[in-house]
Chain A
Amino acid sequence: MTLSPDSTKTMDAYLTTLRKRLRQLNESEVNEIVQEIHSHILDKASQQGVPTRATIDAAITALGTPEELAGSYVTNAVLQRAQATPSPLLILRALFRWAGLSVAGFVTFIVSVTGYCVGASLLLCAVLKPFFPQKVGLWFNTDSTDPDSFRLHLGFTPTAGVGHEYLGGWIIPIGLVLGAIFLFLTYRFGQWSIRKFWRPQVRYAD
Chain B
Amino acid sequence: MDKNKPIEPDAPEKWEVQLRKGSLELAILAALWDGRLYGLEILRHLETASELIVTEGTIYPLLNRLKALGLVTSEWVESTSGHPRKYYELTPAGRQRALEMTQIWTKFSTSMSDLLAPLQKENQ
B58 CB to closest chain A CB (Å) equals: 5
12 A-B pairs with C-beta separation under 8 A: A1-B81, A32-B86, A38-B83, A40-B60, A42-B83, A44-B40, A63-B55, A202-B21, A203-B54, A203-B57, A204-B21, A204-B55
Complex CA–CA separation, A56 to B89 (angstroms): 27
Count of chain A residues with a beta carbon within 8 Å of a chain B beta carbon: 28
Assess whether A39 is in contact with B86, with CB atoms less than 8 Å apart.
Answer: yes
List residues of chain A with CB under 8 Å of any chain B CB. Answer: 1, 32-33, 35-40, 42-44, 46, 62-64, 68-69, 72-73, 76, 80, 200-205
Assess whether B54 is in contact with A40, with CB atoms less than 8 Å apart.
Answer: no
Assess whether A200 is in contact with B81, with CB atoms less than 8 Å apart.
Answer: no
| Cβ-closest chain A residue relative to B84 | A39
Complex CA–CA separation, A73 to B20 (angstroms): 21
A contact residues around B86 at 8 Å (CB)? 32, 35-36, 39
Known: A202-B58, A204-B53. 11 other contacts (CB 8 A): A1-B81, A43-B85, A63-B55, A64-B58, A73-B64, A76-B65, A76-B68, A80-B68, A200-B65, A203-B54, A205-B53
A51 CB to closest chain B CB (Å) equals: 10
- Which label, helix, strand, loop or mixed, suits the secondary structure of the B interface? helix
- Which label, helix, strand, loop or mixed, suits the secondary structure of the A interface? helix
A180 CB to closest chain B CB (Å) equals: 31
List residues of chain B with CB under 8 Å of any chain A CB. Answer: 17, 20-21, 24, 38-40, 53-58, 60-62, 64-65, 68, 76, 81-86
Assess whether A64 is in contact with B65, with CB atoms less than 8 Å apart.
Answer: no
A40-B39, A40-B40, A43-B81 known; A202+B62 contact, CB < 8 A: yes
A contact residues around B76 at 8 Å (CB)? 35
Assess whether B55 is in contact with A64, with CB atoms less than 8 Å apart.
Answer: yes
